[in-house]
Structure 1
Amino acid sequence: MAQIGSYVPAEEATIGIVDAVFTRMGAADNIYKGRSTFMEELTDTAEIIRKATPQSLVILDELGRGTSTHDGIAIAYATLEYFIRDVRSLTLFVTHYPPICELEKCYPEQVGNYHMGFLVNEDGSKQESGDVEQEPDSVTFLYQITRGTAARSYGLNVAKLADVPGEILRKAAHKSKELEDLVNRRRKRLKHFADFWMARDVKDLHTWTEELETEEIQTSLPH
């Protein structure tokens, strides 16, 4: 707003002047040109990459959401890293992909992770019963930027705010728990394989084999 000489709703503000403001927001296809939502998204992003300079402000919203999760994460990660290393413009990159947040560890001087603050209003009765797969807790959004990444996703909580039927929420919560357990098991298995490659002798290899067999038995037991 300050860049175009408009009113800034603040008591005071320190504004850095930029040579251009580039944004890629929204999700819409282009039927006239025969372009899908994802194609439109990438076309706009490619143009921003060509035109942005270190003095530009770039805002990219949910890049990569129009394709598969793996491809979306890969494109978003590579694009943001290119802006960090090559373009070096001031960039606001909005994403729901947790792996993208790992770039802060790779570029601690250039990258900072933030999320919108919120409060989780936990249901006491659900805590007492130990049933965590019922309807999700209510969330109060604070509309404040908070340092760091969110502890977890609250998509089911938003669905509850939108009055999605309780039966659907309970089924979704159950499926979410299944998927989360699957991801955790895969992470453990990757760690086991990493330990396998670090095995120095037969004793270490035997220990690794026992741990893996124990985990597989526990996984196969009914819950």
Structure 2
Amino acid sequence: MKNTGDKGVVISIRGLVQKVGKRTVLNGVDLDLYRGECLGVFGLRGTGKTTLLHAALGVDRIKSGNIEIWGQNIAKSQAYKKKLGLVTQQPSLFADLNVAENLDLFRVIKKAPFERLEDVIQRLQLEDYLHEALPSLQVGVYQRVALACALLNRPEILIIDEIIRDIDLESRSIILQVLEAYLEEGNSCLCGFSNMEHVHYLDRVAWLDDGSIHIYSPDEAENLWRELNAVIPKKRGEQDA
């Protein structure tokens, strides 16, 4: 997204330790999200990417560490949730409601004005899908609806997980345009991703490996990924030259 913001810290994570069962998934993670930036958390399946996002949201109780949003410890105050938006990797909308009904329900839950509903529908180009049942939607359109619901309360921080993975090109373009405009307004985004193809839409990359975080620029992360994939295993029976 290429938006560096004014460098004010909106999410501060220090010494985060989290376990899934008996396995330590996050081991002393430190991470800052700055105002106006899009920070991508890169991790393959099982590395703790979604676990980290859930911890930042306050969804799961953490083993140890400290998480602050706008300077407030999220273990002691829930006020921060009013200005958060969330798009999960797993389906999170109401499958028994159509698109319009989902949007209107989230508008009521988030106490957003009707005009805001019209705005997100237009931005995410959902006019032709309002009466569609959710199970009939393509993945990309579903993610556009989920993002629209997340934006209804004008959140200052978006936390999203794999929002443009394996979706159609039109939906990807629409979502990226909406996110770019969102960041240009001074908002921030923390997103999980596992496809390096999308790395250059980010400002920084938080690379998760063996429970630890390493911060890279998009170019550095892409180069590291290429290096890690440079050695291709030889076919069975192939001899050294």
Is TM more than 0.5 here?
no
- TM-score (structure 2 length as normaliser): 0.39
Structure exhibiting the larger radius of gyration computed from Cα positions: 1
Which has more helix, going by share of residues?
A: 1
